[in-house]
Structure 1
C-alpha cells in the first residue's frame, strides 16, 4: 500500500494545483465556508487510449462536495480483471485531480493487498501509472481503491462543475456534471473510455435543503453523525454504462411534474421535469412534449429503456453547447428545455438508447451514432408536429449544404471540424436513403436488431450496417450481389458526391444511366475523379404512372459501368430520377426530358409532383448549369413555373441561385438580371403582403422577409421609396450620431440605389461614431457602405478617404472588412482593382510591410473576375509590376489560373444567359430600369 500525504501529493502532482485543506476531513463540512479561493481552471483532457492491462467491471464511488468552496473529495473502489501478466496498472486521472491513497487487493494472492511502490504521472497525458511490487497474473481479479480530491469547474459547465444564480435576491449554488466526451477523469480516477460499460454505485453528500439527482433513484438516505444539515444519498446500482454517461445534479430544484409512462411491453418509467422555483412556470407544458416524443421513440425502438426514471433538468446558468445526456438524467439550458420544439427533445431522448444503452466503441464511431440520432430525431419531429419548427425544410437544409461543400475543389477548406460535420451529415442522409430504399418497416427491423444485439455493450458502425443488411436480406429488399456495408463504404470513403446522368434513348424507350463526380467549382482537375464511383439506388417516377410513394429501387448503379433500363415511357412523357431526394445526389437529363419537365411544371397538373421534388428539379438544373454540365437556357426555363408557385420549399433554392448567379455575371448584364429578379419575385411578394397576421406561420414571415430583401437589392421601386422615407428620419434627426432610429433592413437599399448625399451621410456616421455605442452597429454600417453600392463614385470615395487620405477613424481591421465586402459584386471588385492599378506605387509603399493587409488587398482586387476582359486586366497588372508583388506573388498567379477557368465558363454561358434574359424580358414587357435610380 502507498499512502501519500497532502503535502507530498501537492509537490508530486502539480505546482499550481490546490490541495484539500486540513479542515475538509468530514462530510459535515459541505455546509461550511472558507475565505480562500480553491477554484482551478481546467483544460479539456487529451484523448488517450489506455494500454489493455486491466479492465473494470464495476465502480463504487463516494463523493463529498464542498459547495461553497468549489472543491470535493471522494473514494472510488473499482473491480478490475487483469488481461495479462503485469506489474503496473494504467488509469485515467486528470492532472488537477489529487490521489491521496491507493490500495490494491488481488484474489490471486488470497485477497491480500499488493503494494503500490510508486505512482507516476505523464506530464502531457491525463493518465496515472500504478507500479506494483509484484507481477499479477493474467485473469486475476481485484479491487483498486483510491482516495482523491479536486476542484470543481467554475469557468465552464463541464466535468464536475459549480454554478450560481440569483433567486429572490439570494445567491444559490447548483452542482452538475457533463462528462462527454472524456471528462469523468476530472472528477475521479477511472477507465474513461466509452467501451468500458460497467455498473456504478454512487453515494454523495448533499445539504438537506437540496435534492440530488443521478442516473438512478436514491436507494436510501443516511444521516451524518454530528452534522444536522447534510445527509448521504446512496443511489441504486446503475445498469452497465460508460463513464461519460454518469450524471449528477445537486441543487435547490423543484419537481415541476411527473408522469408514469407505460410502454406496450408493460414497462413503467417515471418521466420528471425539474427547475428552480422561479422558473417552474416556464416549464409548464414541457411534459406534454416529452410524452409525445417518448411515445414515438418507444414505438420505434421496441426495446425498453432499462432505467426506472428519466429526469429532465432545466439547470440555471448551464452553458453547454448541447444538453448533458447522462443516462436517465438529461441536463438542459433553461431556455432549451422551456422554449425549444420537438427536435432537440427527440435527439436527447434518443441518446438514451443510441449512446447510453448501446455506445460507440470509440469517438471515431460517434459521428455515425450522431448521424443516426439526427435522422431519427428529424423523422420523429415531423411525425409529432409536421416538422413546423424546421419549416419543413429538412433534409434540404443539410442536403444542399453538402452538395455545395463536396463539389468544391478542396472540400471543408481542409478544416477538420467542418469535415467531421459534413461526414456526419452525409451519413444522416444515407440513413434516410435506406429508410426509403429498404422500406420503413425493414429499416426499423434492422435498427431494433442492432439495439437488441448491442444493448449494454459498445458498437462500431459495422454493427449497424450488418444488422440493417440482415433485415434487408430477410425481407428481400436488397439484391443478392449487394450488401449495406459495401453501399455505405462507397459513400463515406470519399469527400465527394456523384451526379447521375440519365439519358433517354427515345427510339428504343431505354434509359442509360451513368455517374461521375459532381464538381461545381472550377477547375475540375480533381485527382482520381475518373476512378470514383458509388453504389447508387435508381428510383424513377414516370409521367405515365406517376407514383411518388414507391421508393424501392428498380435497380442499382454499380461502379463506373453504365446501366441500361428498358421499358421507359413514350417520348411525350417525362421521367424523374431520384424523386424526393431519396439519395444525396443531383440528376442530369437529356435536353428533351428537361423540356418535358419544364412544360409539365407550367401546366395545371404540376402539383402532382411533390414540393420537395419540384425544389429538387429546380435546384439540380441551376447547379448543373453552374457546374457547366447543362445549358443555362434550360436551367432558367426551369424557373418559369415559379410565376404560379407559392410553396416556400420550392422557393428556398431560388434565392441561393439569384445570389450565386448574380455574383458571377458581368456588370454589363446586372441590369437585365435584376429586372428578371424583380419580375420573378414581385407577384410572390405582393401575395405574401396580403392579409398579414401576427400569428401566421413562421415560414410565411421568413419567405416574405427574404423576398423583400432580394427585391430591394434588385431595385424594386416601392422598396427603395420606403427605405428612403425611413432613412430621411435619421438624416433629419437633431443628433444623428446618438443612434440609428431606423431598422437595418432600410440601410443597404438606400446605399445601393439612393443618392450620393444619402450615402455620404452614412459615411459621416461611421467617421463620427461615438465610442459609447456598440461597435457592432458601426461594423454593420461600414459593411453596408462598402458592400451595397454599385456606383463606382461611392466606392472610390470610401477607398480614397480610408486609404489615400489616411483618415484616422478607420483601422486596419476596417480595411480588411472593406476589401472583403467589395468582393461581393462585380462593381465592387472591379472598382477596387482599378483603384489598386491607378495608385500602385502609393499602395505598395503603404502596405508592403503589412503582409496580411497587402495579401488581402491583392486577393480581393484580383481573384473574383470571371471573364476574358477580367483576365486581361489582371494579366496586364501582373506584367506591369512583375517582381513587385512580394508575398502576394503566388496570390495573383493563382488568381490568373482561376480566372482562365472561369473565363471559359463565362464565354460559354454568359451569351446564353443574356440571350435568355432578353427574350424573357421582352416577352414580359419589362425594361431594364436600374439606371433611372441614379439620375439624381
Structure 2
C-alpha cells in the first residue's frame, strides 16, 4: 500500500479543476502527483471513517497513492464504529488488515475438460500487515472453488518473526463474496503475515473477472483468456482485498500453452516454454490488474524507445494494418498527457489489446489497456470517420487514466465521477491534440453534454458524488457507471475550467482557491471554488435560468423534464446553484457574470428594441436558458435571416433548449418547432444533429399515430436542400467532404432524406446495396455512409436483403463493419425477421454476448420491432438477467432502450407489472427501471397535452411554401 498523503474533498476537487483549467494551473495538480509518485512505497493508509472537515457537506478522505476524493451530503461523526459480531455480513472490508503484496500464479486452460468446461487453476500468496488486532481474516473471493490445504481452505504464515495463529474455521460467505478465515488466536497489530490459497475457477464467457473470449480465424476456433476486473471482479480470479483503497504490489506468473503469449500490467520478467513471470507492478488497486493469454500478433515502437508501445490484436487484424492508427496516435497522446500533468508516464511500457469479446468500451488497466475491437482497430478502407474518432477518443480516455485513476485513485466508488468524468473531459483535449482539425473541443457538446442533460433532468437522477454509505453492494457500484458519472462529470469540469483563469494563485497542495482568483470583474463570489463546485456535485440536476431582456432580471430553478414529478432526494443547497453566465448581445460576446441567488437583476442584459441576446456561449455552462417572448422572437428572426451571426454551437443550443423547455411546459411546443424552420438554409453539422436528436422524440411519441405523415413531410421539406447541397459538393456522391463534421452532416443528409421519403435518396441507397449484393467482394459504398445505406436498403427490402446482410455480418473480419451490419439488420420492416433476430441474441454462436443487449435495443428502436422486443425481454427476463445482469455496464440501457416509446397508460401499467414480477432481479438496471417509469409518465402527459397542436403545426407547415 502506498504511503498516502491526506487530501480533503475540497482539495481533491479543487485540484481537479486546476488540472482542467489552464496550462499554468496544471502545475498544482502535478505537484500532488509528484508527491505521490515519490512516496510510492509500501506503507499504511488509514481507512477509518472520514473526519468532518467543513460545514458544507464535505468530508476528509485518505489518498491511496493518492486518494482523490470522498464526499457525503451529511458529515459523519469522527468516531470509529464498533466491530459487528458478524462482519462477514457487511459488504465493506474491516480496517484491521492492509495488503502489501500478492504473488499470484494462474493457469488458464484453453481447451474444455471432460465436463466441457473451460477452467483455470492457481494459487496466491498475499502478504498483509495487521493494523488492528483481530482473530478474523476477511478476503474477497467469488466463484472460486478453494482447494483444501491441510484440512482447510487456506494456510497462514507469520513473517519477520511473527507467529501465526492456527485456523479454526474457514468458509465462503456467498452473499458478500468473502473467504472467511476464523483464527484460534489474534493477529498482532504491527505484524505481517502471508495467506496462501489454492483455487480452481471457471474460465467462463461471462465477460467478467478472468474469462474467455472466442473467435474464428482461417476457419479455426481460437480461445483467449483475458480479464475485466473493474469494479469488483478481481475476486473472481483469486482471493484478494478487492477495494480500490487496498493498493498493493502484484507479482504475477501465468502458465500458458505453447504457441501463446502471456501479457500483464508490467514487463515480462522471463519466459520458459509454458510459463511467463512478470516484474512487480507499481502499487495499485486490484481492479486495475490484467492478464491475457492469446496467440495475437502486435505492432510496436522501435527498440530503444523510452516507452515501449505495442498494439495487440488478432493476427489477421494486425496483418491488415488495423492497429496502425492506434500505434501512430498513442505516442503523441501519451506525450500530451505527460505535458498536461507535468509528470512522465510512470511505466516502461504501454500495451493495448483489442479483444473479440469485451463488455465495456475499454478498460484502463495500468500498462495493459483492454479494448473492444471497435475502440482500438481502424481500417481506412472499411472504417468510417466516426469509427476513427471513436478510436482516438477512447485511447485518449484510457491513457488519461494512467495518471488520474491509476496513479491517483479515489478511495471508494462513490466518487467514481472524479475518475471517469475527468478522463472523459480530457479525452477530448488529448484527441484534439492528436487530430487538431476535428473540432473535438466543440464536439463534446454533442457527444456528452446534450444527451446527459436529458437524464439529469429526471427526478430519478442522482448527484455526481454519493454518500459512501449508500454505495456498498457490487450492483450499487455498477449502477454508477452511467452517463451522469461520465458525461455530466465531464460537462461540469468543462464548465468549471472555463471560469478559472490563468491568474489562479494557489499553494502547492491546492488547499483552496480564493474568489478573487476566479473572477476578475469584481463580482462577489463564494469564498472558494469548493463552495461553487459543491453546488454542482452534491446535488443532482441542473438549473434553467430565465432572462427577462426588458429589465435584465434573471432567475433560476431546478429544471425537470416533467415538472409534475416528485423530487424526493433532499439537497443540501435546496436546488440552487452558483451559475457562471456567458452571453452574446447582438453578435458581441460580453463579460461573464454570476448568478449566486434565486434571482438577480443585471442591467447590462437589458436590450434595446433591435437587439437580441443569447446566453451560455458555446454551451460552456451546464444549464438551460429561457427568455422573454420578445427575445425568443428576435432570436428566431435572426436565425431565419442571418443564422451565421449566432455561433454554430449556440444555434444548436437554441434548438435543444427550446425543445426541452417545451417538454417541461415552460414554453409552447410550437416555439420549439419554430427553431427548426431555418434548417432549410443550414448546412453545418451541430444544428442539424441537435434538431435530429430532438425531433427523434417526436417520432418516438407519434410514429404510430396520425401525426406521423405530416411530420415526415415537414422533415422531407427541410432536409431536401441539405441533401442537394451534399450531392453538389460531393460531385454526385463520388467524393468525401474534406471537413470532419461535414462528413458527419453528409450522413445526416442521407439518413433524414431516406427516412422521410426523398425518392432520389431511397433510389440511391437501394442501388448501392443491390450493386454490393451482386458483387459481395467489392463493396463500393463509402465507409462513412454504410450504416445509413445498409439500414435504408434493408428497410426497403425483404428477406433477400436481410439474409445477405446477415451473411456479411457473420463473415466480417473488421469489428466496425460488423457493428454497422448488426444495427442495419434491425431496420427491416418484416416482423418475422425481427423475431428471428431477437432469438439469435440468446445464442452466442449467432450474436456475441457483448452485443446481445445492443441488438435488442436496436430492434426496439424500430417502431415495428419495439413491441416485439418488449414481449421478448419480459418472457426471457430470467435468462437475460442471469446472463447479463451481473456486472454488465450496458445492462441498464436495455430497459431504457426498449421502453423509450412508452407513452400510454397501458404501457405504464405493463412496466409497473414488469417491476412487480421481477423484484430483486434488476441489478445494475434498477435505476434505469425507475427512470423509465418516470419517462413514461412524463410522455403520457406530454402527448395528451401536445398531440393536437403538433399535428396542426406540421400540417400547416407542409401546406405552405418553403421560406
- Once residues 330 and 818 of structure 1 are traced to their aligned partners in structure 2, the CA distance between those partners, rounded to angstroms, is 32
SS across alignment from 1:681: helix
The match for 2:348 is: 308
Residue 154 of structure 2 corresponds to residue 115 of structure 1:
no
The match for 1:683 is: 721
- Once residues 264 and 412 of structure 2 are traced to their aligned partners in structure 1, the CA distance between those partners, rounded to angstroms, is 24
CA drift at 1:143 = 1.9
* 1:141 paired residue among 173, 191, 198: 191
The match for 1:873 is: none
CA drift at 1:245 = 1.7
- Name the TM-score, length of structure 1 as normaliser: 0.65
SS across alignment from 1:628: coil
- Once residues 665 and 71 of structure 1 are traced to their aligned partners in structure 2, the CA distance between those partners, rounded to angstroms, is 50
The match for 1:401 is: 451
CA drift at 1:423 = 2.0
The match for 1:795 is: none
- Once residues 778 and 622 of structure 1 are traced to their aligned partners in structure 2, the CA distance between those partners, rounded to angstroms, is 28
Structure 1 residues 95 and 724, CA gap change in structure 2 (3 angstroms): closer
The match for 1:32 is: none
Deviation string, structure 1 residues 338-366 (Cα, Å, up to 9, x no partner): 22520111122122112211122122222
- Once residues 651 and 365 of structure 1 are traced to their aligned partners in structure 2, the CA distance between those partners, rounded to angstroms, is 35
Structure 1 residues 294 and 520, CA gap change in structure 2 (3 angstroms): same
Check the 8 A contact 2:245/2:412 in 1, yes or no: yes
Structure 1 residues 191 and 432, CA gap change in structure 2 (3 angstroms): same
Residue 422 of structure 2 corresponds to residue 372 of structure 1:
yes
The match for 2:553 is: 512
* 1:94 paired residue among 131, 142, 161: 142
> Does 663-672 or 693-702 show the bigger shift?
663-672
Check the 8 A contact 1:618/1:635 in 2, yes or no: yes
Check the 8 A contact 2:333/2:434 in 1, yes or no: yes
The match for 1:61 is: 104
Alignment: residue pair count: 717
Residue 557 of structure 2 corresponds to residue 557 of structure 1:
no
Check the 8 A contact 2:264/2:278 in 1, yes or no: yes
Matched ranges for 1:62-211 at <5 A: 62-63=105-106, 71-101=119-149, 102-106=154-158, 110-137=161-188, 139-163=189-213, 174-205=224-255, 210-211=260-261
CA drift at 1:275 = 4.1
Check the 8 A contact 2:703/2:863 in 1, yes or no: no
The match for 1:600 is: 638
Check the 8 A contact 1:65/1:205 in 2, yes or no: yes
* 1:614 paired residue among 651, 657, 660: 651
Structure 1 residues 278 and 399, CA gap change in structure 2 (3 angstroms): closer
- Once residues 479 and 543 of structure 1 are traced to their aligned partners in structure 2, the CA distance between those partners, rounded to angstroms, is 23
- Once residues 409 and 496 of structure 1 are traced to their aligned partners in structure 2, the CA distance between those partners, rounded to angstroms, is 8
The match for 2:500 is: 438
CA drift at 1:373 = 0.9
CA drift at 1:327 = 1.2
Residue 522 of structure 2 corresponds to residue 423 of structure 1:
no
Matched ranges for 1:585-664 at <5 A: 585-604=623-642, 606-632=643-669, 634-661=671-698, 663=701
The match for 2:365 is: 326
CA drift at 1:205 = 4.1
* 2:548 paired residue among 489, 497, 503: 503
Matched ranges for 1:667-746 at <5 A: 676-690=714-728, 691=731, 692-696=733-737, 700=742, 703-704=745-746, 706-708=748-750, 710-711=752-753, 716=758, 745=792
Matched ranges for 1:19-34 at <5 A: none
Q: Which runs of 5+ in 1 are unaligned?
A: 1-44, 224-228, 263-267, 454-465, 730-741, 751-761, 767-772, 787-812, 825-855, 866-893, 926-936
- Once residues 173 and 130 of structure 2 are traced to their aligned partners in structure 1, the CA distance between those partners, rounded to angstroms, is 22
SS across alignment from 1:193: coil
SS across alignment from 1:151: strand
- Once residues 399 and 792 of structure 2 are traced to their aligned partners in structure 1, the CA distance between those partners, rounded to angstroms, is 40
SS across alignment from 1:374: helix
Structure 1 residues 212 and 906, CA gap change in structure 2 (3 angstroms): closer
Residue 433 of structure 2 corresponds to residue 383 of structure 1:
yes
Deviation string, structure 1 residues 185-237 (Cα, Å, up to 9, x no partner): 2332221211011222334445675443322224456x7xxxxx445x44323
Structure 1 residues 257 and 820, CA gap change in structure 2 (3 angstroms): closer
The match for 2:42 is: none
- Once residues 347 and 353 of structure 1 are traced to their aligned partners in structure 2, the CA distance between those partners, rounded to angstroms, is 11
- Once residues 195 and 279 of structure 1 are traced to their aligned partners in structure 2, the CA distance between those partners, rounded to angstroms, is 38
Structure 1 residues 260 and 553, CA gap change in structure 2 (3 angstroms): farther
* 1:240 paired residue among 258, 272, 283: 283
- Once residues 162 and 707 of structure 2 are traced to their aligned partners in structure 1, the CA distance between those partners, rounded to angstroms, is 87
Check the 8 A contact 1:381/1:387 in 2, yes or no: no
- Once residues 531 and 182 of structure 2 are traced to their aligned partners in structure 1, the CA distance between those partners, rounded to angstroms, is 46
SS across alignment from 1:359: coil
CA drift at 1:823 = 10
Deviation string, structure 1 residues 244-303 (Cα, Å, up to 9, x no partner): 2222234445442225798xxxxx422233345444323234321111221222121112
SS across alignment from 1:686: helix
Residue 95 of structure 2 corresponds to residue 52 of structure 1:
yes
> Does 684-693 or 378-387 show the bigger shift?
378-387
SS across alignment from 1:177: strand
Check the 8 A contact 1:711/1:719 in 2, yes or no: yes
Residue 595 of structure 2 corresponds to residue 543 of structure 1:
no
SS across alignment from 1:562: strand
Residue 327 of structure 2 corresponds to residue 287 of structure 1:
yes
SS across alignment from 1:120: strand
- Once residues 348 and 244 of structure 1 are traced to their aligned partners in structure 2, the CA distance between those partners, rounded to angstroms, is 14
- Once residues 272 and 727 of structure 1 are traced to their aligned partners in structure 2, the CA distance between those partners, rounded to angstroms, is 37
RMSD between aligned residues: 5.0
Deviation string, structure 1 residues 568-600 (Cα, Å, up to 9, x no partner): 554422222111111222211112222332333
- Once residues 76 and 519 of structure 1 are traced to their aligned partners in structure 2, the CA distance between those partners, rounded to angstroms, is 51
CA drift at 1:612 = 0.7
Matched ranges for 1:210-249 at <5 A: 210-220=260-270, 229-231=273-275, 233-249=276-292
- Once residues 907 and 155 of structure 2 are traced to their aligned partners in structure 1, the CA distance between those partners, rounded to angstroms, is 68
CA drift at 1:657 = 4.3
> Does 170-179 or 680-689 show the bigger shift?
170-179
Structure 1 residues 784 and 616, CA gap change in structure 2 (3 angstroms): farther
Structure 1 residues 495 and 764, CA gap change in structure 2 (3 angstroms): same
Larger relative contact order (C-alpha < 8 A, sep ≥ 6)? Answer: 2
Structure 1 residues 524 and 152, CA gap change in structure 2 (3 angstroms): closer
- Once residues 237 and 780 of structure 1 are traced to their aligned partners in structure 2, the CA distance between those partners, rounded to angstroms, is 53
SS across alignment from 2:292: strand
Check the 8 A contact 1:624/1:630 in 2, yes or no: yes
- Once residues 860 and 354 of structure 2 are traced to their aligned partners in structure 1, the CA distance between those partners, rounded to angstroms, is 40
- Once residues 723 and 201 of structure 1 are traced to their aligned partners in structure 2, the CA distance between those partners, rounded to angstroms, is 56
- Once residues 236 and 757 of structure 2 are traced to their aligned partners in structure 1, the CA distance between those partners, rounded to angstroms, is 59
CA drift at 1:821 = 4.9
- Name the TM-score, length of structure 2 as normaliser: 0.64
Deviation string, structure 1 residues 444-493 (Cα, Å, up to 9, x no partner): x99xx9xx97xxxxxxxxxxxx76x5487756679652544443443344
